[in-house]
Amino acid sequence: MNRLSLITSNPGKLREFKAALQPLGFEVVHLPEEVDEIQADTPEEVVLGCLKELKDRNLHNFVLDDSGLFIDALHGFPGVYSAYVLRTLGCEGILKMMDEVDDRSARFKCTIGADIDGIGAFTVSAETEGRILHVKRGKDGFGYDPIFVPNGFQQTFAEMPLEEKNGISHRGKAIKRLTSHLMDAEGKKG
């Protein structure tokens, strides 16, 4: 089994990575490494900054991600500041900001960065379009999951079983791209 170290302070992300990658033959272990997230406009820029910092520390064989909720009516807010906004305002604060807003369209974006021996550093990205509800629903998931319904579904991410969420979420899609990239690289080595 291939082993990947995940750099995160979010236990929900660790659960999602493990659930998605373990059936594909990857053991995911937590690497409690601190990294400074640069101030940027996109998750891609944040991840590239983190990759550079970690590479400068001579770390390798790791993955990390940056994700955000981008709400159209709020001009992409909270975006790359999603974790901070969640800690300070919570889902309730976002719902209050959108109290009189008709356009509820939003998207989750995720960029995964990796630095793997024999492959090098790379990123993959994905997003999931959806809408923001008027009230929280569901007990599972984490973050903004209780207020986000992906397009084509009636349930919030917080109402879905983890396997279903991983199949359609921004992070789940990005993990599939990560896995595909790793498998392609293994095939080229073999």
Q: Provide the annotated active-site residues.
A: 66
- The CA angle 136-6-29, to the nearest 5 degrees, is 105
**What is each CA distance from 119 to 44, 67, 110, 134, in whole angstroms?**
19, 23, 21, 44
Beta strands in 31-150 (DSSP E): 62-71, 78-79, 105-116, 120-132, 148-150
Q: How far is CA 59 from the centre of its chain?
A: 21
Are 175 and 156 spatial neighbours (Cβ–Cβ below 8 Å)?
Answer: no
User: Rounded CA gap, 47 and 54, in Å?
Assistant: 10
